[in-house]
Amino acid sequence: MSSDYSDDDMPLARTNGHLSASTVSNAEDKAMDKRSSIKARPAPVSIRNGPVNDDASPQTNGTGKRKSRSSINHVNYKDGSDSEDGRLAKRQRKVKVDDSDDEVLSKRKGRLPPAADETSMIEDSDDDQPLNAKLASKKKAIEKNAEKEAKAIRASEKPKKPTPKKAIKDESDDDMPLAGAKGKKRPSNGVNGKGKVNGVKKDDSDSDAPLRKKAKTAVSKTKVKDEKPAPVKKASAKKAKKEVSEEPGEGEDDEEEYRWWDAPKKEDNSIKWNILEHNGVLFPPPYETLPKNVKLIYDGTPVDLHVDAEEVAGFFGSMLNSTHNVENPTFQKNFFNDFKEVLDRTGGATDRHGKKVNIKEFTKLDFKPIFEYYYSKNEAKKARPAAEKKAEKAEKDKLEAPYMYCKWDGRKEKVGNFRVEPPGLFRGRGEHPKTGKVKKRVMPEQITINIGKEAKAPSPPDGHKWKAIQHDNKATWLAMWQENINGSYKYVMLGANSAIKGQSDYNKFEKARELKKHITRIRKDYTQDLKAEGMADRQRATAVYLIDKFALRAGNEKDTENEAETVGCCSLKYEHVTLREPNTVIFDFLGKDSIRFYDEVTVDRQVFKNLRVFKKPPKREGDDIFDRLTTTQLNKHLSSYMQGLTAKVFRTYNASYTMSNLLRDLKVSDAAMAEKIKLYNDCNREVAILCNHKRTVGASHEAQMEKLGDRIKGLKYQKWRNKQMLLDVDPKQKKRKGVDYFQLDPELDEAWILEHQNFLIEEQRTKIQKKFEKDNQKRQEEGEKPMPDKELKGRLQAADELAKKFKKENKTKKVEAEGRGPTVEKIEGNVQKIEERIRNLELQAADRDGNKEVALGTSKINYIDPRLTVVFAKKFDVPIEKFFSKTLREKFNWAIKSIEDDHLWEF
């Protein structure tokens, strides 16, 4: 579908770098087909996808989990052709082309993500069909189902349409785009133009900031009737769980649960509340000065500092063990510049005689005394008695209690992040240019409070006042302030399990469900526009293809001086994309959270040709590939199909729709609980693979698998010992069950058995020691005399007896029956229980290993409609606790309760 926008709406070429031509001729398209006689590979398929471990790069995000590459804009290329598994292979012949963008990325330091054929799928069939072809055919089958469903939905709604004029006004699923139905000329570049909220555009598609949202257009009556969750027959009389920490003065211990999903729709959805009461925010404690004997050292001289400068020095000194931060040159430079500013403002540093010490060089600073002080303080804190820790926690809970809840239209709602962030050093994600800068202490004078007109405003700390108090019932935040590093706004919002947050999640997934009606037309139009003559239309169609098929994020342009330069589809640059004939595309860029992301995919031939055109000389490194497209323009185009549709809705739709298809085909069986859970995880894993939700293999994965393997081997040894006990009780069992039944598992050799026996002995000693210490501590707390060491020695004899027993077993090769009155039936029962535990652990090991490079949590929490998980749990009679933690059960309470009586719910 070529664009119908007016001239002033036509996307303009960006001014940075070289630009694409305004049109593409058919002759140019055909000429590219003649260049390659290689058969195209199955598409669209992600061959190798995921984050990259870049060993040479320092970690600069402060979490110790993410790694980013040291440079994003300097990519070296060399001739060569990669085999399917990513290893370099010799080229048999050189394909002569005019463009230089078909060269393969050079080998970089760091391990690439796994290839598709290295990732476990649900079905491990023995046929000869390559896995990439299976993935392609499975994707096409799912898209075919989507096409059928879209037609069926439109057909069921067609008779209900009013006259054409009204359809244009009221129906969001009409064939005419909403943009045209309004009869108004849209502002250029897709900007609403009606205003901003808190200085940020309302329709920023990639913004996660909790800003006030604009009023949403009411969904058509037909949709509400069709998609509203089944009403609960009996009015809910269930009481909400009593919270551990109660707000003082709140009398409603047992409030009736607010089932907002069953409540009638509001006429004006922009009004978020009528009554709002809360107690404001909790400030961090004031700074505690260092002891007089703990000093910052400069060039060998201990120096005295003003309390403000001492606090900043303590920020750096306390984190010397975080080497990926403190050894980062950018971190050091930014810290030292801010530290110097504080020194200049507070009078500088002096030695013990009061003489000025001019601090000029960062390398001459020694923070070790400060680090050692804070380290020893933390260790002492950890070593405190349990009673002291418990008392401190009780005091902390008492202090936080007034801030934990608010009154929202008469309901008690949990507040999410009521604590003001303490001062410290900014870390940022990836190679953030401001990492190491000082985050200043937030004062009450910076904070705006949002509260009901009739409510009493919270009192600021003594001697201070709030920046402002407002009563905006269209905003969902309770307090806000502006931080000093990037000038961004911080908001105090309701908790994840609140009605407001639940409604936001619900609307997100309902929007993805609505996309089912329009997906066929969108795909048909962008497929047609892949061959459009206009460059802007062709770039937009290619971008939508990549977002739909490979779950690429749309991407926003960054202020690279203040933010890490991360990339999405619309902001891809020349060096981020490598083309390999006939239809393989390699994306290599710094993605979300500044993780280097590598994605090797096969695409439709026309998409491959388009990308070659977008990289055509004189374009070079640093130039935009989609130079005639922005995220705002892309989302404006998508909203013409469906109210509120943006690029990120495709990720939710594709994940949820794929999961729905997979779950629909599953047959209910009498499998064990562990097998049912693995079946769900297999479906989740396939969604992650098909929707490109990958992750780097954790550094601890191998150790975890080894530990799990040892547990399995330990159970096999335990099973063998029980079988030997069976012979001790009844030697005739050897003849009845056969010799093989009593054989030792081949995995358990003599060396491993000796090592395992020593482990069991030491484990028992440790348990006895800890139990003794715990008992003594309890006696001391109760004012009783502690037990003597003689008691401990007596208890440890049990471990000595176990050592003697193992020694005897190793010598005689016989195991004496244990327990009171051992019988054949009891021992056989023990063997069966152990075998069941082994089966469960083996399923767990297979599941964990299969998930090592797949981000199941990403799919399950963010993109798969939680109601699908609830349906699976009901269908297979699995407790929902097996899939959702307590936090997630609270977050998705609406999903669990809204379909509790609807076993046939479908996405």
Query: Which positions are annotated as active-site residues?
Result: 863
Q: Which residues contact 557 (CB under 8 A, 6 or more apart)?
A: 571, 630, 631
Give me the amino acid identity at 124.
D
Tell me 859's DSSP state: I
Own/partner pairs for 218-227, CB < 8 Å, 24+ apart? 218/265, 218/269, 219/172, 219/514, 220/170, 220/171, 220/172, 220/173, 222/157, 222/160, 223/172, 223/173, 223/514, 224/265, 227/510, 227/513
Alpha-carbon gap, residue 572 to 36, rounded angstroms: 25
Give the span between the Cα atoms of 720 and 197, in whole angstroms.
69
Residue 413 φ then ψ, to 5° = -120, 140
**CA nearest to 297, candidates 234, 249, 363:** 363
Sole residue written with tokens 């990339």: 567
Torsion of CA 825, 829, 830, 835, to 10 degrees: 140
Residue 706 burial (C-beta neighbours within 10 Å; 0-12, 13-18, 19+)? exposed
The three-state secondary structure class of 605 is helix
Helix axes 307-317, 329-346, angle to 10 degrees: 170
Spatial separation of the C-alpha atoms in residues 339 and 332, rounded to whole Å? 10
Distances in whole angstroms, Cα of residue 605 to Cα of each of 44, 144, 192, 699, 881: 10, 20, 36, 38, 46
Query: According to DSSP H, which parts of 691-749 are helical?
Result: 701-729, 733-737
- 810 vs 256: CA distance, rounded Å: 64
DSSP-derived secondary structure letter, 95: P
Tokens of 33: 């087909």
DSSP state of 468: E
Rounded-to-integer distance, Cα 5 and Cα 540, Å: 13
What is the maximum alpha-carbon separation in the chain? 96
Amino acid at 427: R
Say if residues 421 and 442 touch (Cβ distance below 8 Å).
yes
Q: Which residues on adjacent β-strands are paired with residue 763? A: none
Distance of alpha carbon 78 from the chain centroid: 35
Q: Which of helix, strand or coil describes residue 303?
A: strand
- Angle of helix 866-875 versus helix 649-664 axis, rounded to 10: 10
Question: What type of residue is 896?
Answer: I
Virtual torsion, Cα 236, 240, 241, 247, nearest 10 deg: -170
For CA atoms 180, 206, 567, 193, give the dihedral sign.
positive
Q: Is 88 helix (H, G, I), strand (E, B) or coil?
A: strand
Instruction: State which amino acid sits at residue 352.
Output: R
One-letter amino acid at 158 equals K
